[in-house]
Chains A and B, each alone.
Chain A
Amino acid sequence: MIIDMHMHIEEVPSLGWKMSADDCIRAMDAAGVDRAAVMTLTDLPGLNPTGLELIADACASHPDRLYGFIRLNPAYLHLSKDLLRQATTDLGFKGLKLHPVSTLQHPGAPPTIELVRLAGELGVPTLFHCGDEPMTTPLSIAQTAAACPDSIIILGHMGGYFHVDEALEVAEKHANIVLETSAMPYPEKIRTAVERIGAERVIFGSDGPVSSPSLERQKVVIADLGETSAALVMGGNAEVLLGLAA
């Protein structure tokens, strides 16, 4: 079972963005990916008021292939908490997505911590954009990890281009951090991650469909993890995080 834990669906004509569920499915099929976590590129509430329905409809149209993450802005805390409860409880969403660049919300600030704690209470992980920009670095998101020990926090892109070593360090320090492989350009760092924090805390993602799941999958192949670890990274761990494991 191959599961891509980071794909996007969006429709915002004013930004020229249109990535459909079918685009994701085509990219998944080309890459041999069975299932994917999908989320918008915009936050709720925000530019695309129909973002929740967009993801819900995509998942309903492709049962057993697409699983929703709701992307929220912690600045609208009460509304975001309501939306998170609705998405997970009523619509079957499997996770929360936060992007501090687009929300301008620091991961260590109270609204984010409160929202991430709620995600933990609801039993779903939180996927952060974790790259090189201020407020998205591993040390920034480690503030959340420390404050929310009962919530699983996924570092999407595992530190980007220049913060991968810091991602490894904070993952060693905080047991609730999981590293996700998309976009980050160094295959050997995936192997290092498996060696330092264990294969159970590393997951495959592509950031597709605008980046290639086929290419991103090759990065894990080049990392040469061995059969058991590769199976966990490529899908076994995601099955647990998505609540699909038997």
Chain B
Amino acid sequence: MIVDGLVYLGTSHFGYELDASSALARMDGVGTDISLAVPVHPSGGNFSSVNDAVIDAAQHSAGRLIPLARVDPWNGEGAVVELRRAVLAGARGLFLHPSEEHFRANDIRVRPIVECAAELGVPVTVAAGFHLFAEGLQLGYAAEWTPDNAFVLTNGGQFNISGLGQFDAELALLNPNVHVQTSGIYREDFLERVVATFGPERLIFATAAPMFEMSYERKRVDLAHFSEAERQLILGGNSARIFGIEKEGWQS
């Protein structure tokens, strides 16, 4: 079973868009069975609306879209309330985007939301690598708040076209609950080093579509030098385990 750890659904305030039917068609095109789906940043800031839209899309996807709830920490207690509501409605995890919602990943305002996710028993996924908002060490700091809850970092926990973010991402991975996704990471040696150093259970295939192109993102995993057992974990086993995804014939 191939699980894409991140796709964005909806029309973003920031101009990109992907609807559920297009996402499913693209998934079919690249052989992806299931995707973790998160809402885009809504124009007007109504996160309940976009959470409901993604939950509804998931409910009509025959199990192929797994919804995560997106909240804005600047809403204070309202963000916690929204997370509880969305999880009750079917969301299977928390998604935070520090760059698009303009908060620092380890800001104290974030902590009650992350702690609420742990209390609810749902993993946390964070859009990672954005300078000032979601740097590797900031994310490692936030992951320490709930050490027993899975903390998933998109984009390998970093963005830098010289690989200068790798060092801090690897320090974040010293937290056993931190996992990193493959999206956008051009350094094959980093992806392979994560597996060699921290284990194949810590690396998760994700495309972050439509930010990145699905077929090309898949090739990052297909062309890297992993064993078949490692590749199966990266391409689906790890997401299945972390998010409790079960499918006939698949043991999470």
Which chain A residues have a beta carbon within 8 Å of chain B's beta carbons?
99, 101, 129, 131-133, 157, 160-162, 182-188, 207, 210-212, 214-216, 218-219, 222
Contact = CB atoms under 8 A, between A and B. Distances in A.
A186 B160 CA distance: 15
16 contacts: A101-B162, A132-B161, A133-B161, A133-B164, A157-B161, A161-B159, A183-B186, A185-B184, A186-B213, A211-B189, A212-B188, A212-B224, A215-B188, A218-B216, A218-B223, A222-B213
A117 to B, nearest CB: 26
A162 B155 CA distance: 14
Contacts of A186: 212-213
Contacts of A216: 186
A215 B213 CA distance: 13
B41 interface: no
Contact of B223 (A131, A132, A212): A212
Interface residues of B, number: 20
A184 B187 contact: no
Given A187-B216, A210-B188, 10 more contacts: A131-B160, A132-B161, A133-B164, A161-B159, A161-B161, A183-B161, A183-B186, A186-B213, A210-B163, A215-B219
A161 B162 CA distance: 11
A211 B212 contact: no
B220 A215 contact: yes
Contacts of B131: 132
From A133, A182, A187, A212, residue with most partner B Cβ within 10 Å: A212
Given A215-B220, A219-B216, A222-B213, A210 B162 contact: no
B215 interface: yes
Interface in B179-206: 184, 186-189
Contacts of A215: 186, 188, 219-220, 223
Interface of B: 131, 159-164, 184, 186-189, 212-213, 215-216, 219-220, 223-224
A185 B186 contact: yes
B132 to A, nearest CB: 12
A155 B224 CA distance: 26
Given A132-B161, A183-B161, A215-B223, A222 B188 contact: no
A212 to B, nearest CB: 4
A183 B189 CA distance: 13
Contacts of A131: 160-162
Smallest CB-CB A-B distances: 6 pairs: A131-B161, A160-B161, A183-B186, A210-B189, A212-B188, A157-B161
B179 to A, nearest CB: 20
